Amino acid sequence: MTTARKILSNTAFQIMGRAGVAMLSLAVIKIITGYLSVSSYGQYTNVYEFLALFAIIADFGLYTIAVREMSRNEEEIPEILGNILTIRLLIGFIVLFCVSIAGFFIPSHQETQIPYAILIVTTASLIALINGTMASVLQTKYKMQYAAVAQVFGKIIQVAYMTIAVYVLFANDPYIGFYHLFVAGVIGNFAMLFMTVWAVRKYTVISFRFDKERIKYILKQAAPYGIALFLSNIYFRADAILVFNMRGSQEAGYYGVAARMLEALVILPLFFMNAVLPTLTKHIKEKRDSYKQILQYTFDFQLILSLPFVVGGFILAKPLIYLISKPEFIGDSAAGIYGSDTALQIILFSLILVSVNVVFNYTLIAIKKQANLIWINGICATFNVIANLIVIPQYGFRGAAFATIASELLVLVLVMSTAKKYLPFTISPVRGLKVLLSSLIMGAVVYILRDPMASVIGNWNILVLVPIGGIIYIGSLLATRAVTKDLIQMVRK
Tell me the pLDDT of the chain (493 aa) as tens digits. Answer: 555 555 566 566 666 666 677 777 778 888 888 888 888 888 888 888 777 777 777 777 777 777 777 777 777 777 777 787 888 888 878 888 888 887 787 777 777 778 888 888 888 888 888 888 888 777 777 677 777 888 888 889 989 999 999 898 888 888 888 888 889 989 999 999 998 888 888 887 777 878 787 778 777 777 776 777 777 777 677 788 888 888 887 888 888 888 888 877 877 777 777 667 767 777 777 666 677 777 788 888 888 888 999 999 899 888 888 887 777 888 777 667 788 888 888 989 988 898 888 888 888 878 778 778 778 888 888 898 899 899 999 888 889 889 989 988 998 999 888 888 888 787 888 888 888 899 899 999 989 988 888 888 877 788 888 889 889 998 888 888 877 666 565 545 4
| Contact indicator for 174, 43 with CB cutoff of 8 Å | no
SS3 of 425, please? coil
421: exposed, middle or buried (Cβ count in 10 Å: 0-12, 13-18, 19+): exposed
User: Which residues are CB-neighbours of 308 under 8 A, at least 6 positions away?
Assistant: 438, 439, 442, 469, 470, 473
175: exposed, middle or buried (Cβ count in 10 Å: 0-12, 13-18, 19+): exposed
Q: Residues of 206-231 as b/e, b for ≥16 C-beta within 10 angstroms?
A: eeebeeeebbeebbebbbbbbbbbbb
Amino acid, res. 181? L
The CA distance from 300 to 296, in Å, is 6
The CA distance from 130 to 82, in Å, is 11
The CA distance from 264 to 306, in Å, is 12
pLDDT of amino acid 4: 55
The CA distance from 405 to 415, in Å, is 15
User: What's the angle, vertex CA 313, arms to CA 305 and CA 266, rounded to 5?
Assistant: 45
| Contact indicator for 459, 319 with CB cutoff of 8 Å | yes
φ/ψ (deg, to 5) at 332: -135, 90
pLDDT of amino acid 29: 82
